[in-house]
């Protein structure tokens, strides 16, 4: 008979049984303890994770709060909104008072004897991706430039899914590195020579850009935002001028700028400012101001390049235009706290100011396919429409000053001779 009485039994057999029963008890207790241990440690891990999650959450909210309390945030929220409204006001005024103003038509390329080549930087996301797709539909061989090999492969796959006839080629280039751009120029030239294409580029679209909220420095010692948004485009354009010049029909440079350039009212073009070293050293990184400044520099560069091409008698061969896409829902705000970028997009959508990349790409495609003779035009609002950029951006003396400082900055790098032969 089996009686369990806390492990005590009298008969031998029963004792045997008892001892078996005791063993069972011990095993069960051990099992329970183990379960408790496991559940205790799982509970501990969960608790730890909760604590960590909470810490991350608190940190995120603290960062967001600091962001909201910064001057730069309000500069973006208020002044950028006013400057985009001013651009739309220009469109509205033109439709009222200059109804005869004819928008620029789009000209499709000739695909014979060989397909023309169009190069787009920052084509792995947002506007660059949308532009690459649109121009692939026009029959261009689209050269996609990006800094991540993985994203480049993804981009090719996406565009091929949307347009099976697309002719694409990708190159991994970091536009914030002068060395990387120089290497790219050689690879591009070699690829063109090895292909059955004409050894030239018909459209160059300088689209890559960032809105960095913390200071970072490039290999050449420039602020990364200025290095990517302006100096990278300056270097790439100068290096590709011979390929643009070799185009059998007139070629085009499209610089993608922004309405935010209007906020800048006072500029300096000394070495510290153009390289961005002055900003990197400052206590609070003025990211909104640097973004506006870099976009203004790109505009001044575009107009100065046009003037220089005129002086060299090449302005009928190479056109320089500018495109402003407006406010677009892309990844450009990736460094802004998620809740704030979501809120900004929500408010802008409510104000009917926010566009999708597929819609905003129109100003870039308008500029790329505009007829010859559109140098200096500032495309905005799609449908071939243009507006005026700020008065400061059209100051020829400032543009010359910026050109000279940038050329000097590049001349003191190990690659100076390769870039400054224009
Ligand atoms: N979104 C707007 O509201 C707006 C308004 C006016 C003007 N813009 C201008 O439009 C252009 C495109 O921006 P987006 O809105 O399409 O932003 P996005 O989605 O963030 O795309 C930016 C592209 O630039 C690339 N890029 C960044 N740094 C690079 C580098 N060092 N080398 C090579 N590629 C680099 C990015 O590549 P990764 O993916 O590898 O980072 C990405 O493909 C920018 O010049 C921006 O200033 C945008």
The verdict on the CB of residue 128 being under 6 Å from ligand 1 is yes
The verdict on the CB of residue 175 being under 6 Å from ligand 1 is yes
Strands 117-121 and 141-146 turn out to be parallel
- Dihedral over alpha carbons 171, 259, 344, 120 (to 10 degrees): -10
The verdict on the CB of residue 141 being under 6 Å from ligand 1 is no
Least confident window among 34-38, 137-141, 197-201, 217-221 = 34-38
Q: Whose CA is nearest to atom 8 of ligand 1?
A: 258
Residues 157, 335: Cα–Cα separation, whole Å: 26
Residue-wise pLDDT tens digits, 74-99: 999 999 999 999 999 999 999 888 77
Is 306:374 a contact under the CB 8 Å cutoff? no
How much is the pLDDT for 30? 64
Residue-wise pLDDT tens digits, 255-271: 999 999 999 998 999 99
Q: How far is the CA of 115 from the centre of ligand 1 (A)?
A: 27
How much is the pLDDT for 24? 63
Residue 200 CA: distances (Å) to CA of 172, 188, 203, 251, 316:
19, 10, 9, 9, 16
Average pLDDT score over residue span 349-356: 96
The verdict on the CB of residue 363 being under 6 Å from ligand 1 is no
Least confident window among 26-30, 158-162, 237-241, 394-398 = 26-30
Rg of the chain taking only CA atoms, in angstroms: 30
The verdict on the CB of residue 76 being under 6 Å from ligand 1 is no
DSSP assignment letter at 217 = B
The verdict on the CB of residue 125 being under 6 Å from ligand 1 is yes
Is 317:250 a contact under the CB 8 Å cutoff? yes
**Residue 128: partners with Cβ closer than 8 Å, 6 or more residues away:** 120, 121, 122, 144, 146, 205, 207, 208
Report whether the peptide linkage leading into residue 113 is cis, meaning its omega lies within 30 degrees of zero. Answer: yes
Q: How far is the CA of 366 from the centre of ligand 1 (A)?
A: 19
Q: What percent of the chain has a predicted confidence (pLDDT) above 90?
A: 76
Q: How far is the CA of 226 from the centre of ligand 1 (A)?
A: 13
Q: How far is the CA of 206 from the centre of ligand 1 (A)?
A: 10
The verdict on the CB of residue 332 being under 6 Å from ligand 1 is yes
Residue-wise pLDDT tens digits, 63-75: 899 889 999 999 9
The verdict on the CB of residue 328 being under 6 Å from ligand 1 is yes
The verdict on the CB of residue 236 being under 6 Å from ligand 1 is no
Q: How far is the CA of 215 from the centre of ligand 1 (A)?
A: 17
Could you tell me which of 25, 54, 122 has the C-alpha nearest to residue 328? 122
Q: How far is the CA of 173 from the centre of ligand 1 (A)?
A: 14
Count, residues in the chain: 422
Confidence category of residue 241, pLDDT binned at 50, 70, 90: very high
The verdict on the CB of residue 151 being under 6 Å from ligand 1 is yes
183 vs 31, more confident: 183
Is 294:226 a contact under the CB 8 Å cutoff? yes
Could you tell me which of 253, 234, 384 has the C-alpha nearest to residue 294? 234
Composition of the chain by helix, strand, coil, percent to 5:
55, 10, 30
Strands 167-172 and 378-380 turn out to be unpaired
The verdict on the CB of residue 87 being under 6 Å from ligand 1 is no
Residues 303, 311: Cα–Cα separation, whole Å: 13
Which of 124, 209, 297 most suits a substitution to test ligand 1, by most atoms within 8 Å of the C-beta?
Answer: 209
- Atom of ligand 1 at shortest distance to CA of 148? 40
Residues 365, 323: Cα–Cα separation, whole Å: 9
Residue 86 CA: distances (Å) to CA of 89, 111, 294, 347:
5, 39, 20, 18
Residues 214, 280: Cα–Cα separation, whole Å: 9
Q: How far is the CA of 172 from the centre of ligand 1 (A)?
A: 15
Q: Is the dihedral of CA 382, 139, 252, 210 positive or negative?
A: positive
Average pLDDT score over residue span 159-173: 98
Q: How far is the CA of 129 from the centre of ligand 1 (A)?
A: 10
**What pTM did the predictor assign?**
0.88
In the predicted model, what is the mean pLDDT of the chain?
89
pLDDT of residue 27 exceeding 70, the answer is no
How much is the pLDDT for 102? 78
Q: Whose CA is nearest to atom 6 of ligand 1?
A: 258
How much is the pLDDT for 295? 98
Average pLDDT score over residue span 110-115: 87
Least confident window among 34-43, 207-216, 389-398 = 34-43
Residue-wise pLDDT tens digits, 382-404: 999 999 999 999 999 999 999 99
């Amino acid at each position: 008979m089996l009686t369990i009485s806390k492990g005590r039994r009298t008969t031998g057999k029963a004792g045997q049984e008892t001892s078996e029963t005791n063993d069972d008890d011990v095993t069960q207790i051990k099992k329970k303890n183990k379960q408790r241990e496991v559940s205790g440690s799982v509970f501990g891990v969960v608790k730890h994770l909760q604590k960590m999650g909470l810490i991350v959450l608190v940190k995120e909210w603290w960062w967001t709060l600091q962001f909201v309390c910064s001057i730069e945030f309000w500069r973006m929220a208020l002044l950028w909104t006013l400057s985009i409204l001013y651009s739309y006001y220009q469109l509205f005024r033109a439709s009222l008072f200059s109804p005869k103003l004819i928008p620029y038509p789009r000209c499709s390329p000739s695909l014979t004897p060989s397909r023309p080549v169009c190069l787009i930087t920052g084509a792995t996301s947002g506007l660059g991706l949308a532009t690459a797709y649109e121009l692939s539909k026009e029959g261009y061989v689209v050269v996609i430039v990006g800094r991540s090999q993985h994203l480049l492969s993804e981009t090719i796959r996406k565009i091929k899914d949307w347009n099976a006839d697309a002719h694409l080629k990708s190159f991994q280039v970091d536009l914030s590195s002068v060395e990387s751009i120089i290497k790219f120029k050689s690879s591009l030239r070699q690829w063109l020579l090895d292909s059955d294409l004409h050894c030239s580029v018909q459209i160059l679209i300088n689209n890559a850009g960032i809105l960095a909220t913390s200071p970072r420095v490039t290999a050449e010692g420039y602020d990364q935002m200025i290095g990517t948004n302006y100096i990278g485009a300056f270097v790439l354009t100068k290096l590709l001028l011979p390929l643009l010049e070799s185009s059998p029909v007139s070629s085009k440079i499209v610089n993608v700028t922004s309405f935010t350039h209007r906020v800048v009212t006072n500029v300096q073009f000394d070495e510290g400012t153009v390289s961005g070293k002055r900003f990197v050293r400052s206590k609070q990184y003025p990211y909104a101001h640097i973004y506006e400044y870099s976009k203004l520099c790109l505009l001044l560069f575009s107009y100065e390049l046009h003037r220089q091409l005129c002086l060299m008698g090449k302005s009928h061969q190479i056109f320089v235009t500018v495109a402003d896409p407006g406010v677009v829902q892309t990844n450009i705000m990736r460094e802004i706290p998620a809740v704030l970028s979501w809120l900004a997009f929500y408010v802008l959508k409510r104000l009917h100011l926010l566009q999708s990349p597929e819609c905003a790409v129109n100003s870039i495609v308008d500029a790329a396919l505009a007829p010859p003779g559109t140098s200096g035009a500032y495309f905005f609002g799609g449908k071939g429409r243009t507006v005026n950029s700020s008065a400061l951006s059209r100051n020829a003396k400032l543009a010359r000053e910026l050109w000279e400082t940038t050329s000097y900055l590049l001349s003191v790098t190990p690659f100076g001779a390769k870039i400054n032969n224009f």
